[in-house]
């Protein structure tokens, strides 16, 4: 299993939000490329970049993402507000290894099928979840779609993976939703990456034991709650 540091972008800064709430920002760092370089120097071999402004319709961080992709030197997955093929193609052309698509992939079955077959192995479908219901539009809207049902619908597509974020635990450093992640891993034909609440090495080991391919980590790393070097030594590759 691999640990993947998150570089979440808001207004050109690297931030961490609690529960996805823009009014509950706990971390702000002014130089995202420097942050990314620090994670790579620490020993991590994959990055997760999210454009929070694009995800919530507040703008975009396109130039920052371009800089991050140019300098990364490790595989990178990028998401946040990706709702059109032109943006998928742009991110791949600029160096993204995978593009993470959420809201439109959830809401438009025909589009996600077309995109998955057009870019086989290059899309990661994001299922953001609150109490097992999939949420969309930057976590602002809750659907009636059960995450397990949704993941099973994805099994026939040539995906690069599935990213499941436990929104109700995001940024709270209270541990992840192990029953949810285990059920998703069992239901999915594709590698599953967990996000939300991962706080300790024991959380990582528990996810690995339940068949997860990796975990995206944010708040626990940025606050120093989790020792980044120890994490990279055990789960960096």
Residue 142 pLDDT: 63
Residue 41 pLDDT: 97
Q: Is 128 a catalytic residue?
A: yes
**Band of the pLDDT at 201, cuts 50, 70, 90?**
very high
pLDDT in tens, 57-92: 889 999 999 999 999 999 999 999 999 999 999 999
pLDDT in tens, 167-182: 876 656 678 899 999 9
Catalytic residue among 8, 97, 177, 203: 8
Contacts of 47 (CB under 8 A, 6+ apart): 4, 5, 6, 7, 36, 39, 40, 68, 72, 74, 75, 76, 77
**Strand ranges (E), 11-148:** 13-18, 21-29, 47-51, 76-79, 98-101, 123-130, 133-136, 141-146
The C-alpha angle 220, 2, 155, rounded to 5 degrees, equals 110
Residue 167 pLDDT: 81
pLDDT exceeds 60 at position 138 = no
Contacts of 140 (CB under 8 A, 6+ apart): 56
Q: Which residue from 42, 19, 36 is spatially nearest to 226, judged by alpha carbons?
A: 42
**What CA–CA distance (Å, rounded) separates 91 from 218?**
22
Q: Name residue 165's beta-bridge partners.
A: 128, 195
Residue 46 pLDDT: 98
For 73, half-sphere exposure in the C-beta direction (CA atoms, 13 angstrom radius) is 10
Catalytic residue among 51, 128, 177, 203: 128
> What 3-state class would DSSP assign to 121?
coil
Residue 16 pLDDT: 84
Query: Where does residue 132 fall: left (phi above 0), alpha (psi -120 to 50 degrees), or beta otherwise?
Result: left
For strands 192-195 and 133-136, give the pairing: unpaired
**Band of the pLDDT at 213, cuts 50, 70, 90?**
very high
Residue 133 pLDDT: 86
Superfamily of domain covering 2-235: Aldolase class I (3.20.20.70)
Residue 53 pLDDT: 92
pLDDT in tens, 124-135: 999 989 888 898
**What CA–CA distance (Å, rounded) separates 57 from 80?**
10
pLDDT in tens, 29-66: 899 999 999 999 999 999 999 999 998 888 999 999 99
pLDDT exceeds 70 at position 137 = no
Q: Is 8 a catalytic residue?
A: yes
Q: Name residue 17's beta-bridge partners.
A: 25
pTM passes above 0.85: yes
Average pLDDT, the chain: 91
């Amino acid at each position: 299993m691999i640990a993947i540091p998150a570089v979440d972008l808001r207004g050109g800064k690297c931030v961490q939000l609690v529960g996805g709430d823009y009014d509950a920002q706990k971390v702000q760092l002014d130089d995202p490329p420097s942050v990314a370089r620090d994670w790579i120097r620490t020993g991590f071999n994959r990055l997760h970049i999210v454009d929070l402004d694009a995800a919530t319709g507040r703008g975009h961080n396109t130039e920052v993402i371009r800089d991050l992709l140019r300098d990364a030197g490790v595989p990178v997955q990028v998401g946040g507000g990706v709702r059109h093929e032109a943006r998928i193609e742009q991110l791949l052309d600029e160096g993204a290894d995978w593009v993470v698509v959420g809201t439109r992939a959830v809401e438009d079955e025909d589009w996600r099928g077309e995109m998955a077959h057009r870019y086989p192995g290059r899309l990661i479908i994001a299922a953001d979840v609150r109490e097992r219901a999939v949420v969309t539009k930057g976590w602002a809207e809750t659907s009636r779609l059960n995450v397990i049902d949704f993941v099973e619908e994805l099994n026939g597509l040539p995906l690069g993976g599935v990213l499941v974020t436990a929104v109700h635990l995001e940024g709270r450093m209270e541990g992840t939703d192990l029953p949810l992640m285990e059920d998703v891993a069992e239901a999915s034909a594709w590698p599953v990456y967990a996000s939300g609440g991962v706080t300790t090495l024991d959380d990582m080991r528990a996810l690995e034991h339940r068949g997860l391919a990796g975990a995206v980590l944010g708040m626990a790393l940025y606050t120093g709650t989790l020792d980044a070097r120890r994490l990279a030594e055990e789960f960096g590759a």
